[in-house]
Structure 1
Amino acid sequence: MEQHTFPEAAHDNAAAFWLARARALGLHAVRTAGWTAVHGGSDGLDAHRVVVTRPYSDPEGLLAELAGLFREWGTGRVCLEDPYGGLDLALYGGEGALAQAVMVREPAPLGPGSGVGPAARPGTGRGSGVEVREAVDGDGLAVAERVVVEGFPLPARLPWRRGGLLPGALLGEPGWRAWVARRDGAPAGACVSYDDGSVVGLYWVATLPDHRSRGVARAVVEAVLAAHPGRPATLTATLLGEPLYRRLGFTERALSRWWRYPASGPAVPTAADR
């Protein structure tokens, strides 16, 4: 694969992102030529995560392979991203969500007034000042974590507990960064980015309810893009977030089908903004 061939580069970034979190939490993970799986942990709050990274010719065989792994792990819940659309977890009692756009933005200027450095981005969201800064220590990371948990939201992580989603060890993972947007001085939005040396992926772009429709999500995304000016950027967009990303220069390169198991479990969280 060429360095910037999409959508495979986007899938590789997602797999590497989850592997970095697994290392920080000491979780078991398996990476093969066609998929990556990360154990959900012993607390039961996270599902086992699977990212399919390459096309497959035998969907039934792939499902059987993954089912064997989950039996070994003692499956409670599973979240599987299938960007090739050929898997059917309903055969195993799973439930599919609507397909979501895997989007990519090639390196390009952000436009007038958007050329900012990686540390801060003064926003102009509908009359309210928005500033974005990178979380560089444990306290900053905790703020980013709380905003993601409460703003995305991640129901399984409510009420928020420090370090459960974003452990402090992530600050030592190369390429891994967290960002916090403040509006009039108060935490308003956040996201996580992961630069794998080829592309930069954006994850958990979140805005707290009281600060929505004020340019917070845009400010966060622009800060990440400005901090990685030579990198293509990628994310998986919800229907609500997709219009913003298109305005910022992202284009759809694939549709990813998300599956959850069991079907009666809580809604599967997605990778990008709401």
Structure 2
Amino acid sequence: MSSMLPEEGEHLTAGWEEDVPPTDSLVRQAVLAHVSWARALTAAARGTFAEGPDWCAGRGGGASALLNWAIVTSPPADWAQTVRAVSTAYGSGVSAIVISPFPTPDLSTHGLALVGHPPLMFRPTSTVTPTPTTSLEVREAETEQHLRDAERVLVEGYPLPDMADLPPGDFYRPDVVAGPTRVFVGYDGDAPVATAAAHSAAGVTVVENVAVLAAARGRGAGAALTWAATTAWPGQGAVLIASDDGQPVYARLGYLRIERWTCWLRP
């Protein structure tokens, strides 16, 4: 056993160093992919993106926290310092979601409100499950109108009341699908009723923004749109941050629970 002990001063890899490859662990891939997703949303919204040694903060410019994602990217040595840095990146009066893949201390003393501990879920490419069926027509958003349809469903179906007054096209601008992001819309005839998005980064697909209007629920819409996003890049596994209510749908599609992350809200 003595030969396995580190030499004095030897660096022991923790898995979160900058030079560690994205594929070092599935959780690392998921973290880096979500950072890329936050960066993509920020760029499409003509916002600002700031980074520190253990955090990133994307500011999309709107009032909704969905436009402002902060992610803890490695275990902080000083949580107070990290929260201060994130708060400085947003400034006063900006609501933001702060996501940590790592257990956090009580951050309410720093002005944050605990949202919950949503599970990170992963679907390997080796998983075989039946393709969901739905009466909806699932289309990829390739035009400005498609993107506006997806945005409207997201605002009304998620729901996101603090985005209701935004001008159409202010969230899903055409730029959002110019890179490694794809958006899907489910139509009942000509009416958009469901949506989901997929983003490719760090060797995995991030599935996000799954929403279904109340009138279309119970028709397999959520599963069908999640499936479209999950298989947007068939050669990659897919990850998503699930709600407790959404877990059964994702489990039926072959997603596995990996661990719980922690979500805080900066009001």
The corresponding residue for 2:146 is 140
2:163 equivalent to 1:157: yes
Three-state SS of the structure 1 residue aligned to 2:261 is: strand
Q: Deviations over 1:96-148 (max 9, x none)?
A: 01210011111135434x2xxxxxxxx634xxx12211101111111111111
1:209 to partner: Cα distance? 0.4
User: In the aligned structure 2, how far is the partner of 1:199 from the partner of 1:61?
Assistant: 31
Cross-structure match for 2:59: 39
Using a 3 Å threshold, how does the CA distance of structure 1 residues 44 and 186 change in structure 2: closer, same or farther? closer
Corresponding residue for 2:8?
A: none
| Partner AA of 1:249 in structure 2 | G
Alignment of 1:154-193 (within 5 A): 154-159=160-165, 161-172=167-178, 174-193=179-198
Show the counterpart of 1:6: 26
Q: Contact 1:199–1:234 (CA<8 Å) still a contact in 2?
A: yes
CA-to-partner distance for each residue in 1:209-255, whole Å, 9 max, x for gaps? 00111100111122223331110101100011111111111112221
1:205 aligned onto 2:210: yes
Query: Partner residue of 2:76?
Result: 56
Equivalent residue for 2:133? 124
> Does the aligned pair in 1 maintain the 2:199–2:207 contact within 8 Å?
yes
1:77 paired to 2:83 = no
Residue 234 of structure 1 is matched in structure 2 by 239
* Aligned amino acid, residue 111 of structure 1: T
Say which of 226, 229, 250 aligns to 1:245.
250
Q: Which structure has the bigger radius of gyration?
A: 2
Query: What is the aligned partner in structure 1 of residue 17 from structure 2?
Result: none
Give structure 2 stretches of 5+ with no counterpart: 1-19
Q: With structure 2 as the length reference, what TM-score do the two structures score?
A: 0.84
Give unpaired runs (5+ residues) of structure 1. 115-122, 263-274
User: What is the identity, as a one-letter code, of the residue corresponding to 1:22?
Assistant: T
Partner Cα separation in structure 2 for residue 161 and residue 206 of structure 1:
19
User: Which amino acid in structure 2 is aligned with residue 190 of structure 1?
Assistant: T
CA distance in 1, matches of 2:46, 2:165: 23
TM-score, length of structure 1 as denominator length? 0.82
Q: CA RMSD in A?
A: 2.1
**Residue 60 and residue 92 in structure 1: after superposition, are their counterparts in 2 closer, same or farther (change >3 A)?**
closer
The alpha carbon displacement at 1:40 in A equals: 4.1
Q: 1:69 to 1:161 in 2, by over 3 A?
A: closer
Deviates more, 1:204-213 or 1:48-57: 48-57
Residues 51-108 of structure 1 show CA distances to partners (whole Å, capped at 9, x for unaligned) of 11222232233223334434xx334323211121214331122210121001111113
Cα distance in 1 for residues equivalent to 2:127 and 2:177: 28
The question of 1:25 aligning with 2:32 is answered: no
CA distance in 2, matches of 1:228, 1:22: 22
CA change 1:100–1:139 in 2 (3 A) is same
Identity of aligned residues (%): 26
- Whether the aligned pair in 2 keeps the contact of 1:194 and 1:201 (CA below 8 Å) is yes
Q: Distance in 1 between matches of 2:121 and 2:74?
A: 17
Are the counterparts in 1 of residues 42 and 49 from structure 2 also a CA contact under 8 Å?
yes
Paired residue type of 1:241: G
Aligned residue pair count: 246
| Residues 162 and 87 of structure 1: CA distance in aligned 2, closer, same or farther (over 3 Å) | farther
Distance 1:156 1:75 in 2: 14
User: Residue type of the partner of 1:76?
Assistant: V
Distance 2:128 2:140 in 1: 19
* AA aligned opposite 2:192: P
